[in-house]
Structure 1
């Protein structure tokens, strides 16, 4: 576990710029955007697996998509890290007392108007998720070694709001990890290599 933690500390300490859903779509960024702050948790278990969620199909925004635990910063959150920790506890039952915070990665700008800061952390001890039924359809884990391999990522595209939009994907078994989640994971993968 100490080797894994040291590897994550080294990755987080590397300098890099933030990322964006517009990385592969340079001409599509709307002018005058006001971004809302959000924090997400890239939680790594002691078995070197990353905790991800499948969002409920009943949600208004991003139904059924793969995401990190996390969400927008509320007025009661002291920081973006607090927002990520609060949301992880609410969404998957991960108590902040069980989180060994490593640190933040640069923010990621989403096409839906968020500046999401991913926080890399280790989960202490065995974690048995408790998904929040209204938001989370499923909690699952993906091996960090799989996510750290740049060869597991590819660019795909589709029509969205009348334009062709390209995005990163990282399929894993039955899970189609794509968009902002895949882009933030690829940022971590680049730092781990």
Structure 2
């Protein structure tokens, strides 16, 4: 399936799937310039038995704290906590539409350009690996597909975006939707 064949996904969680309003969250989508072009910086989350997103590829980010003034502040704080990226080393370019996760978070993507060198220092409680994927690879429609996925504990399926594996990492779900959303807007 090519990217042209992939129509925008609608939130299609069945009525009653969630028993509470979504919790606000934000992720930083850091763009880094390398010799071969622009890359997104990703993390692979650490393994935790009670974390529904354990071991998954993601952007640095998390739940909005009461002291965060907005989604930009949340994304910048979380990126600093998770990988050591300080706010003075990035220029925030803007925000994308929010998407609801199966774990009931409303996630806002905050796109930023890394403007200064920084030393990656992942917090091992939250991050197993930090890596990048070239935008050129992400823009290739042959690397993106939609697959049906059974909703946890239900007999209903939902459509989910998946990128093909890159460097043995699988980018899918809300993270893939955020990337696809930005790639389509470029």
Q: TM-score range by the shorter chain?
A: 0.7 to 0.9
Among 166, 175, 180, the alignment partner of 2:174 is: 180
Please state how far the C-alpha of 1:148 moved relative to its aligned partner. 2.5
Give the count of matched residue pairs. Answer: 171
Whole-angstrom distance in 1 between the partners of 2:14 and 2:139: 28
Q: How does 1:1-193 map to 2 (within 5 A)?
A: 23=9, 26=12, 28-29=14-15, 30=17, 33-47=20-34, 48-58=38-48, 60-61=50-51, 62-159=53-150, 160-163=152-155, 164-171=157-164, 172-192=166-186
The structure with the largest helix share of the pair is: 1
Task: Say if 2:82 and 2:123, in contact at 8 Å, map to a contact too.
Answer: yes
RMSD, aligned CA: 1.9
Please state how far the C-alpha of 1:113 moved relative to its aligned partner. 1.0
Task: Say if 1:54 and 1:67, in contact at 8 Å, map to a contact too.
Answer: yes
Task: Say if 1:150 and 1:189, in contact at 8 Å, map to a contact too.
Answer: no
Whole-angstrom distance in 2 between the partners of 1:143 and 1:174: 14
Other structure's SS at 1:167 match: strand
Whole-angstrom distance in 1 between the partners of 2:26 and 2:162: 21
In the superposition, the TM-score normalised over structure 1's length comes to 0.81
CA offsets 1:9-41 (integer angstroms, 9 cap, x no match): xxxxxxxxxx7xxx3673635377501111111
Whole-angstrom distance in 2 between the partners of 1:91 and 1:59: 19
* Structure 2 unaligned spans of 5+: 1-7
Please state how far the C-alpha of 1:129 moved relative to its aligned partner. 1.2
In the superposition, the TM-score normalised over structure 2's length comes to 0.84
Whole-angstrom distance in 2 between the partners of 1:89 and 1:36: 21
Whole-angstrom distance in 1 between the partners of 2:42 and 2:145: 19
CA distance 1:102–1:60, change in 2 (3 Å): same
Whole-angstrom distance in 2 between the partners of 1:186 and 1:167: 12
